[in-house]
Amino acid sequence: MAREMGKGVAVVVGGSVAGLACAHAVAEVGWKAVVLEKAAAPAAGSGGTGAGLGLGAQSMETLARWIPGWGLDAATLPLAVDLNRATDSETKAARTLTRDEGFNFRAAHWGDLHRRLHEALPAAVTVLWGHQFLSFEVSDDDDDDNRGVVATTRVLGTGETVEVAGDLLVAADGCASSIRRHFLPDLKLRYSGYFAWRGVFDFTGKESSDIVTGIRRAYPELGSCLYFDLAYKTHAVLYELPGNRLNWLWYINGPEPELTGSSVTIKVSEAMLARMREEAERVWAPELARLIGETAEPFVNVIYDADPVPRLSWAGGRVALVGDAAHPTTPHGLRSTNMSLLDARALGACLASTPGVSSSRQRALADYEAARMPVVAAQVLHARRLGRLKQGLPVDGDEEAAGFDVRRVATAEEVSQLRQRGMPYFGGAPTSGAG
């Protein structure tokens, strides 16, 4: 059967933020989208732990197009200041290393963003919840009437196997992407040399408690500032989220933790929690140590990235990689969500004049690759370097080139490297076509 004129169908594997963003982007330019997601239902809202993220100005502008009724300013908090401080673990004294008052990011909660992206999906998008992606096939037939991609899924509620056909397969299936592995079997995730404790402290109804008044005294710009506290060979991140929540991360050097399955997070034992709380009291000021110690259900996130991929499109323009499937990255520089949103925007822009037929689709995917490859490759490598620098680890592959050492007085050039502003394309990345 011939397709409807002017329309293509994108099969999006993964219904996280990257996948829903791709659905918005392709629907915006006239394509249809079917999203395959193994979770049984969308995020319930703002629940969950470790779910803070920072959105740059270009991402905020993009989201305003897709979620016009969100009220982005009301649903996020400003991160106007990027502040790096040094903590003396003996005296607990802190001193400012570098301060950037033109940061211009916004703090959001992952669950809230995901829910609103889902609620705002246009009619051209179908989300199949509870569908676990199994495999895909790509046709060699370049007949313009042939839907050349077929994804096979398992319906988790029934065990039934279902096939979904389209013109384009979009891999938004995360850092352990099975689709990326199909094309790049030798590309492995790379352990960064450190892992993170993460958590969100909910202070609803506790606004005047000792712990909240103490943390606001020690961090007086919460609500408008992204704090990085550096101690010797470790660092912590703290910022406020909408809805009376404080998001924190604490990075710790060490051997690669043992993981089970495909998750990069670890559910921790009481013994692990006890050791973590004891170490927090040794390293950090009492206010931060107490916040960490009293957060409900903190967890361990093992930090990986991967070397930049050689391509973002495959199979004659029938398969595209986006988000963490395309560029697993460490969290330094707040890149993961921002790169995912801008991947989606660029992909949509490149497909704007493409009905899904072979020749025009290949050109569109080549444009997408040309627009995004230089950006994401540079940002992944910079985020890698920034993380190792702040952790006091060797940088740039040179075992003699140690990272930042808070115990000594640093030069202006050394502290300037700690700023988020050093990220390539910090002011905005180019998008292709009408985007």
Domain boundary assignment for the chain = 9-67+113-188+309-422, 78-109+189-305
- pLDDT number for residue 49: 43
pLDDT at 303: 97
pLDDT for 181-190, tens place per residue? 999 999 999 9
Say whether pLDDT at 156 is over 70.
Answer: yes
Burial code (b: 16+ CB inside 10 Å, e: under 16) for 296-307 equals eebebbbbbbbe
For the cut 60, the answer to whether the pLDDT of residue 340 exceeds it is yes
Residues 48-75: pLDDT tens digits?
444 799 999 999 999 999 998 887 778 8
Q: Which fold has domain 78-109+189-305?
A: D-Amino Acid Oxidase; Chain A, domain 2 (3.30.9)
Query: How much is the pLDDT for 409?
Result: 84
Residue 143 has pLDDT above 60, yes or no: no
Q: 359-374 pLDDT, tens per residue? A: 788 899 999 999 999 9
Q: What is the pLDDT of residue 434?
A: 45
Count of CB atoms within 10 A of residue 398's CB?
Answer: 8
Assign 389 to helix, strand or coil.
helix
Structure tokens at 151: 């994804």
CATH 3.40.30.10 given to domain 9-67+113-188+309-422: no
Distance in angstroms (rounded) separating the CA atoms of residues 178 and 318: 16
The pLDDT value recorded for residue 430 is 82
CB 248 within 8 A of CB 228: no
Label residue 231 by pLDDT band (50, 70, 90). very high
**pLDDT at 46 exceeding the cut of 60:** no
User: What pTM value is reported for the model?
Assistant: 0.94
Q: Sorting pLDDT into bands at 50, 70 and 90, what band is 435?
A: very low
Residue 39: is its pLDDT beyond 90?
Answer: yes
pLDDT score at 6:
54
